[in-house]
Structure 1
Amino acid sequence: MKHRGRHRRRRRGRALRATLAGTALALTAAATLISASQATVAETPGALRTVSASSGAGRLPLAEHRVPERWLDRLAAGMGRPVGVDAVLRDADLSLQRGARCPAADRRDLPVAPAATRAYCFGGADTRGWRPGAVTTSGDADDDGRWGANRVVLSGWTRGGAGGSLDEPSPERGLAKVAFVDANDPARPRYAWVLLAVPVDGGRDYRGLVSPLSGMTWYQDKLLVTTREGDRQALYVYDLHRIQRAGVASGAVGRVRGGWSAHGSRFVLPAVASYSLPAGGPRPAAVSLDRSTSPDSLVAGEWVPADGERRTRLWRYALSRDPARSGLLSTGASGRARPVAAYESKAADVRGVLAHGSAWYLDRAADEPGAHGTLWRQDSGGAGAAECGPDESRHCWSGGPGSLSYWQATGEVWSQSGRMLFALPLASLDRAVERSSDR
């Protein structure tokens, strides 16, 4: 039913892109935001190196584990009939500020070059004590860019944590929640919070997901998020049809006197599956969707510190075409999803990864607090990045590390840095890289 009127939506999408192209944000003094202490040119990571996906560094099978259906049904029986994304958007009563109205300190986190064409900021009071993480959109969920009739952006946040570190947070500080942003009116986006949870006790209760949200993608009816919870968990899977209302407003999580609580959020989303790693294997820290492949694929990248002695590994996993497995990875008879391709990159401290066509885009974090990072475009032929400022620095990307998500219907890349949520055309990224390569 959600695919009816797809061709009309595509025509509306083309009209929207034309409107957005003529309304780029005038974000003040962007070129002056580069710190004088930054290096003039970041060291290039060179070309991507293909490695075997079935052995050695490229081997990373993910074992699928489904939450028993009876657990989910028992939880729904206790909490009430699940609701969908539309119900969350109808309750969205928190506003994002448009970029020009955001505090100067927040705007400093935006990219210098190429500049964001759309930017918004979350309120300080609403996000105090929470750390921003991953971003995905309804552009990932469906190729027409909408979920039903709605354009939606999802922004992940983690309670507490140590700055930009990917270390596992403590249970009392590591709760994860997602802002469901109603993006139907670009001039007035509004949002509501949904707490991520994991069913326990046979579905009689749930606990909060305790993990940084460094990677997240929404494909069909599933939301896949990276996790550092436990020694072997790599991804948790959430079904967007199984959002539950939490009727008790308290700081607790789970079943409480009088009903159910979600740490102040009005909605909670219980996991329906997870993917675990081999013992001692690498851990994906960033994920995104690639619709340029057939079938569509999930791409993932690990985090290697800047002073690490090995290369960053990247993987590609095929997504299932089986209607009974909507939104899940393609698995073999053993119930494991195996990468269909793997690569190594010399780019370190990668916090966001995106693949489209033959190009990979790697968001490398800044070398020091308050500085800007670098967004590398890398393929088998080499690497390039935008240059900015009189010293031709490549530290031109956003100030804080953030994931990357490509909205194919509009041609935009979405990301998040600090409290800023922003978008810009993928074509502008490519042009910026090409201009710097021609110099």
Structure 2
Amino acid sequence: MRQRGRHRRRARGRALRAALAGTGLALTAAATLISTSQATIADNPGALRTPASATRLDGLRLTEQPVPRRSLDRLAAAMGRPVDAGAVLDSADRVLRDADDCTADEKKALPVEPAATRAYCWNAADSATPQWRPESVTTSGDAADDGLWGTHRVILSGWTRHGGSGPDRDLARVAFVNADDPDHLTYTWALLAVPVDGGRDYRGLASRVSGMVWYRDKLLVTTSAGERDALYVYDLRRIQRATVAGDTVGRVPDGWSAHGYRWVLPAVASYRPTTGSCAETAGPDGSADPSDSTDGDDAGDFASPSESGDTAAPCPNSLSVDRSSEPGSLVASEAAPRGSGRHTRLWRYSFSTDPTRAGLLATDSAGTVTAREAYETKVDGVRGVLSRRTGPSGGTAWYLSRAAGPDSAHGTLWRQDLRGAGTTECGSSYDTHRCWGDGTGSLSYWPQTGEVWSLSGRTLFAVPLSSVERALR
């Protein structure tokens, strides 16, 4: 019986790869018709540039700010004993559609070259809600040496709510995906929150989770909007159960509400720029920064909340885990807006090796986090960042995903190091480097499977890193 099941899964996998490859061939033909006059980025951004002085690394310092333990304990005493991610996975009540069941429009968002070998679309009701958008992804391959959380293979996807009104205008949630069976992925939701009033209540995280990483038992997410911090930290062993089904967030007369979701994650710490703030910069009329616009499912270009300059406050929009570094490190990027002429900053922080601080960043005695290294790239509008050592010599490659522009159907994936740059190509003439996904989100590498996971439009997909390397030119 088990052997027949394996044969069925392998057959379905071959059929899926063939279907996706067919889609990729069709899109490749269309890509060769793109005119070079539509190009909005240099054909070659060149090598990464390193900072000229240590003061530029000093500008990337963060200060760790733990939520007081008594506040978390007070909240747990009122809401009930916390559970871990395993309990959330056991309650998964939604099913991801595989590529065969995705719509033609959903599949158009997938990369052309290399083609996705696995692709999934969210529950139809979740996909049809325009206010909520998937923006980030991380997996248990980031979290653990064996790629598992307990006995489970897990994918986490961060979504942001755009629009609405009142205190719940901006919210953030996480899809907990049980990926044990690649032919049947299930998931459920948890709301991201921040304790207030000494743990007597909580509010929703009013932030865009464009970047998210899972390391050990901690989940780190990027912030935006009115949040002053650069990162918030969540403990996947301290998940609380909501007791009231309603749109309200926080304490209500009959218990605890999480905007209709069953689970809520209260933040356990944050990282704030040692100098400056990540609060959104208002425009001259008091409105939000106009460079951070949205257009349909494409979340628009990211804009740094601070002015240009190598010592500006570190406010990342993309994150990933580099398990090939020693010790493991958090990789971050702060993208320059598309067409701004500014450079995107890339840098990394080490994770702590102290067993009592699992999943937190390495700090000095004052709670200060210092960047290990930093670079600049000419690639703007970056949505995802990934860093991997390329060999025993210690060379490091940086992979940067750039979303599609207004005149193109697909984005670009660049690979850069200190010697130069390369990109995937999907044709033999004209502007053929636009082969990556449309509206691509963050990047996450799963070492145990050799796959890069990402999001494009409303689609979750995986591409072997080896296929990316073969497609680079």
TM-score (norm 1): 0.89
Aligned to 1:156: 158
**DSSP 3-state at the match of 2:338:** coil
**Separation in 1 of the partners of 2:105 and 2:319?**
28
What are the within-5 Å matches in structure 2 for residues 35-434 of structure 1? 36-37=33-34, 39=36, 43-51=43-51, 54-56=54-56, 59-127=59-127, 128=129, 129-160=131-162, 171-230=167-226, 232-277=228-273, 278-279=275-276, 281-357=313-389, 358-368=396-406, 371-391=409-429, 393-433=432-472
Structure 1 residue 124, shift from structure 2 partner: 3.6
Distance 2:55 2:193 in 1: 34
For 1:335, the aligned partner's letter is G
- Is this contact kept in 2: 1:58–1:342, CA < 8 A? no
Match of 2:23 among 12, 18, 29: 29
Work out whether residues 206 and 226 of structure 2, in 8 Å CA contact, stay in contact via their aligned partners in 1.
no
| Corresponding letter in the other structure for 2:182 | P
State the Cα deviation string for residues 66-113 of structure 1 (Å, max 9, x = none): 000000001111110111111111110100000121000010110000
Query: What are the superposed Cα offsets for residues 351-375 of structure 1, whole Å, 9 maximum, x if unpaired?
Result: 1000001100001111117621001
Write the distance in 1 (CA, Å) between the matches of 2:55 and 2:25.
45
Q: Relative to structure 1, is the Cα distance of residues 307 and 114 closer, same or farther in structure 2, using a 3 angstrom cutoff? A: same
**Secondary structure at 2:89 match in 1:** helix
Following TM superposition, by how much is the alpha carbon of 1:303 offset from its aligned partner in structure 2, in angstroms? 1.6
Conserved? CA contact 2:62–2:369, under 8 Å: yes
Conserved? CA contact 1:214–1:226, under 8 Å: yes
Letter in 1 for 2:325: T
Instruction: Please tell me the residue identity of whatever aligns with 2:24.
Output: A
Contact 2:213–2:321 (CA under 8 A) maintained in structure 1: yes
Q: Which moves more between the two structures, 29-38 or 227-236?
A: 29-38
CA 1:99–1:153 in 2, change beyond 3 Å: closer, same or farther?
same
**CA shift digits 1:302-338 (9 cap, x unpaired):** 0211222321110110100001111000011221111
Q: Distance in 1 between matches of 2:322 and 2:166?
A: 33
* 1:134 alignment partner, SS class: strand
The 3 A distance-change label for structure 1 pair 327 and 143 is same
Q: Deviations over 1:398-432 (max 9, x none)?
A: 00130000001111100011110000111110111
Letter in 2 for 1:344: E
Structure 1 CA distance for aligned equivalents of residues 376 and 225 of structure 2: 25
CA distance in 1, matches of 2:464, 2:322: 16
Q: Which residues of structure 2 form unaligned runs of 5+?
A: 1-8, 277-305, 307-312, 390-395
Supply the AA of the counterpart residue of 1:47: A
CA–CA distance in structure 2, aligned partners of residues 171 and 133 of structure 1: 21
- Aligned counterparts of 2:272 and 2:357: Cα–Cα separation in 1: 18
The alignment partner of 1:26 has SS state of helix
Give the Cα–Cα distance (whole angstroms) in 2 for the partners of residues 143 and 22 of structure 1: 31
Identity of aligned residues (%): 57
User: Aligned in 2, Cα 1:49/1:21: closer, same or farther, shift over 3 Å?
Assistant: farther
CA contact (8 A) 2:207 2:227 kept: no
**TM-score between the two structures when normalised by the length of structure 2:** 0.83
Change in 2 beyond 3 A, CA 1:299/1:95: same
For residues 119-158 of structure 1, give each alpha carbon's deviation from its aligned partner in whole angstroms, at most 9, with x where no partner exists.
0001342240201111000000002110000000001111
Change (3 A) 1:62 1:97: same
Work out the CA distance in 1 between the residues paired with 2:209 and 2:18: 28
TM-fit CA distance, 1:264: 1.3
Matched residues in 2 for 1:429 and 1:345: separation?
20
CA distance, structure 2, for counterparts of residue 143 and residue 366 of structure 1: 34
| Inter-partner Cα distance in structure 2 for 1:62 and 1:342 | 14
Counterpart Cα distance in 1 of 2:79 and 2:57: 45
The whole-number CA distance in structure 1 between the counterparts of 2:355 and 2:140 is 19
What is the aligned-residue RMSD (CA, Å)? 2.3
Distance 1:99 1:63 in 2: 43
Q: Secondary structure at the match of 1:60?
A: coil
Tell me if structure 2 keeps the 8 A contact 1:183–1:190: yes
Deviation >4 Å, runs of 4+: 19-23, 34-38
Which amino acid in structure 1 is aligned with residue 26 of structure 2?
Answer: T
Shift of 1:348: 0.6
- The farther-off stretch of 135-144 and 366-375 is 366-375
State which drifts further: 54-63 or 197-206.
54-63
Amino acid at match of 2:45: P
Q: How many residues align?
A: 413
How many angstroms apart in 1 are the aligned matches of 2:136 and 2:174? 9
Residue-by-residue CA offset, 1:274-296 (whole Å, 9 max, x unaligned): 00112152411101000111000
Q: 1:182 to 1:227 in 2, by over 3 A?
A: same
